Chain A
Amino acid sequence: MSHDDDELPSGLSRRAFIGGTTGGAAAVSLITLSGKARGATSPRVSGPGAVRISMTVNGAPRTLKVEPRTTLVRALRDELGLRGTKVGCDRGACGACTVHLDGETALACTTLALEVGDRKVTTIEGLAKGTTLHPIQQAFIEQDAMQCGFCTPGMVMSCAALLAKDAKPDRATIRNAVAGNLCRCGTYPKVFTAMMTASGQPAKGWTLETRTTGNPAAPPPGSAWVGIAGGAVTAQLRTIPETEAKPWPMNPGLNVVGKSTSRLDGRAKVTGEAQYTSDVALPGMLHARRVVSPHAHAIVKRVDTRKAEKLAGVKAVFVVKKQEGATLVDPSTEKNGTFPRIRYAGQCVAAVAATTPEIADDAARLIEVDYEVLPAATSLDAAMASSAPLVYPVRVNLGGSAGGGGAAKDLAQQGNLRGPTQLSEGDVDAELAASAHKITGTFRTQVQTHSPMETHGIVADWKPAELTVYMSTQGTSTVRDDLATVFDLPKSKVRVVCDFMGGGFGAKFGGGHFGVVAAELSRRAKAPVRLVLDRREQHTAVGNRPSTLQQLTLGATREGDLNAVDLVSHGTSGISTGAGVGWAAQRLFPANAVRTRQYDVFTHAGPGAAFRAPGMPQGVFALDQLVDELAERVGMDSLDLRDRLDVDERDGAPTAPERIARKLERRIGADRIGWKSRHAPGAEKGPIKTGIGVATSSWRRIVDMDSACEVRLARDGSIQLRSSVMDIGTGTRTALAMVLAEDFGLRPEDIHVQIGDTRWPIGPSSGGSKTLVGITPAVRQAAHEVRIKLFAAVGKKLGVEPKDLRIVPGRVESSVDPSKALAWKQACATIPTDELAAIASRPADWQGPKADGYGGVQFASVQVDTETGVIRVLKVVAVQECGRLINPLAVQSQINGGIIHGISWALFEDRHLDHKTGRMLNANLDQYKVLGAKDTPFIDVILLDQYVGLTNTDAHGIGEPANVATAAALANAVYNAIGVRIRELPMTPRTVLAALKKGNRS
Chain B
Amino acid sequence: MKNFEWVQPETVADAVAALGHPGAMALAGGVDLLDRLKERLDSPSRLVSLRKLPNLSEIKVAGGVATIGANVTLARLAADPALQKSHRIISDAAGHAATPQLRAMATIGGNLAQRPRCWYFRSEEFVCRKKGGAECFAQEGDNSMHAVFDNKLCAATHPSTVVTALIALGARVTIAGAKAREVELASFFVKPETDVRREVDLASGELITGLSVPASAANLRTAYTKQVAKQSFDWPLVDVAVALVMDGQTCRQATIVLGAVAPTPRRAVEAERVLAGATVDVLAAGRAARAAIASASPLAHNDHKVQILETVLARTIMNAAAGRAS
| Contact between chains at B75 and A914 (CB < 8 Å) | no
Residues of B within 8 A of A107 (CB): 101-102, 105
| B100, chain A: closest CB distance, angstroms | 5
> Is B51 in contact with chain A by the CB < 8 A criterion?
yes
| Contact between chains at B232 and A47 (CB < 8 Å) | no
Residues of A within 8 A of B104 (CB): 104-106
> Is A180 in contact with chain B by the CB < 8 A criterion?
yes
Residues of A within 8 A of B2 (CB): 69
> Is A212 in contact with chain B by the CB < 8 A criterion?
no
User: Given A69-B3, A110-B34, A868-B308, do A922 and B51 touch, yes or no (CB 8 Å)?
Assistant: no
> Is A714 in contact with chain B by the CB < 8 A criterion?
no
Residues of B within 8 A of A993 (CB): 304, 307-308
User: Given A112-B27, A929-B234, do A104 and B75 touch, yes or no (CB 8 Å)?
Assistant: yes
> How many A-B contacts if CB must be within 8 Å?
192
User: Given A98-B101, A110-B30, A179-B233, do A43 and B5 touch, yes or no (CB 8 Å)?
Assistant: no
| Contact between chains at A990 and B144 (CB < 8 Å) | yes
User: Given A71-B34, A915-B142, do A294 and B101 touch, yes or no (CB 8 Å)?
Assistant: no
Most buried by A among B31, B99, B117, B304: B99
| Contact between chains at A921 and B142 (CB < 8 Å) | yes
B3 contacts which of A45, A48, A91, A989 (Cβ < 8 Å)?
A48
| A921, chain B: closest CB distance, angstroms | 4
Residues of B within 8 A of A177 (CB): 100
Interface residues of B in 293-323 (CB under 8 A from A): 301-302, 304, 307-308, 311-312
User: Given A43-B18, A92-B34, A176-B100, do A869 and B233 touch, yes or no (CB 8 Å)?
Assistant: no
Most buried by A among B1, B8, B98, B123: B8
A16 contacts which of B3, B27, B101, B125 (Cβ < 8 Å)?
B3
In the assembly, what is the distance between CA of A42 and CA of B18, in Å?
9
> Is B141 in contact with chain A by the CB < 8 A criterion?
yes
| Contact between chains at B237 and A868 (CB < 8 Å) | yes
User: Given A21-B5, A68-B5, A932-B233, do A42 and B308 touch, yes or no (CB 8 Å)?
Assistant: no
In the assembly, what is the distance between CA of A867 and CA of B234, in Å?
19
> Is B291 in contact with chain A by the CB < 8 A criterion?
no
A932 contacts which of B49, B125, B232 (Cβ < 8 Å)?
B232
Residues of B within 8 A of A106 (CB): 101, 104-105
In the assembly, what is the distance between CA of A112 and CA of B102, in Å?
14
> Is A631 in contact with chain B by the CB < 8 A criterion?
no
Residues of B within 8 A of A112 (CB): 6, 27, 30, 34, 47
> Is B197 in contact with chain A by the CB < 8 A criterion?
no
User: Given A104-B75, A935-B232, do A994 and B3 touch, yes or no (CB 8 Å)?
Assistant: no
Residues of B within 8 A of A134 (CB): none
Give the segment of B161-169, B188-196, B210-218, B223-231 that binds chain A.
B223-231
| A549, chain B: closest CB distance, angstroms | 19
> Is A926 in contact with chain B by the CB < 8 A criterion?
yes
| Contact between chains at B38 and A91 (CB < 8 Å) | yes
In the assembly, what is the distance between CA of A111 and CA of B230, in Å?
26
A68 contacts which of B4, B75, B99, B301 (Cβ < 8 Å)?
B4
Most buried by A among B2, B120, B229, B237: B229
> Is B137 in contact with chain A by the CB < 8 A criterion?
yes
> Is B35 in contact with chain A by the CB < 8 A criterion?
yes
B46 contacts which of A45, A117, A176, A933 (Cβ < 8 Å)?
A45
| Contact between chains at B52 and A117 (CB < 8 Å) | yes
| Contact between chains at B105 and A868 (CB < 8 Å) | no
| A967, chain B: closest CB distance, angstroms | 16
> Is A158 in contact with chain B by the CB < 8 A criterion?
yes
> Is B247 in contact with chain A by the CB < 8 A criterion?
no
| A274, chain B: closest CB distance, angstroms | 22
| Contact between chains at A179 and B99 (CB < 8 Å) | yes
| Contact between chains at B100 and A115 (CB < 8 Å) | no
B5 contacts which of A45, A912, A917 (Cβ < 8 Å)?
A45
* Chain A residue nearest to B10 in the complex (CB): A43
| Contact between chains at B101 and A95 (CB < 8 Å) | yes
User: Given A868-B237, A915-B142, do A180 and B227 touch, yes or no (CB 8 Å)?
Assistant: no
Interface residues of A in 879-930 (CB under 8 A from B): 907-908, 912-917, 919, 921-922, 926-927, 929
Please list the residues of chain A having a beta carbon within 8 angstroms of any beta carbon in chain B: 16, 21, 27-28, 42-49, 67-69, 71, 90-93, 95, 98, 104-107, 109-112, 114-115, 117, 158, 175-180, 294, 358, 867-870, 872, 907-908, 912-917, 919, 921-922, 926-927, 929, 931-935, 988-990, 993-994
Please list the residues of chain B having a beta carbon within 8 angstroms of any beta carbon in chain A: 1-10, 14, 17-18, 27, 30-31, 34-35, 37-38, 46-47, 49, 51-52, 75, 98-102, 104-105, 117, 119-120, 123, 125-126, 137, 140-142, 144-145, 227-235, 237, 301-302, 304, 307-308, 311-312
The 7 lowest CB-CB distance pairs between A and B, nearest first, are: A180-B99, A932-B232, A934-B231, A68-B6, A921-B119, A48-B3, A990-B304
List 20 additional contacts besides A110-B35, A921-B141; criterion CB under 8 Å. Answer: A27-B7, A42-B14, A42-B17, A43-B8, A43-B9, A45-B7, A49-B3, A68-B6, A110-B31, A114-B49, A115-B30, A179-B231, A870-B229, A914-B141, A921-B120, A927-B145, A929-B234, A932-B230, A989-B229, A993-B307
A-B contact pairs, 12 of them (CB 8 A): A43-B7, A69-B4, A105-B101, A158-B101, A175-B232, A179-B233, A358-B3, A867-B307, A869-B304, A913-B142, A927-B145, A935-B232
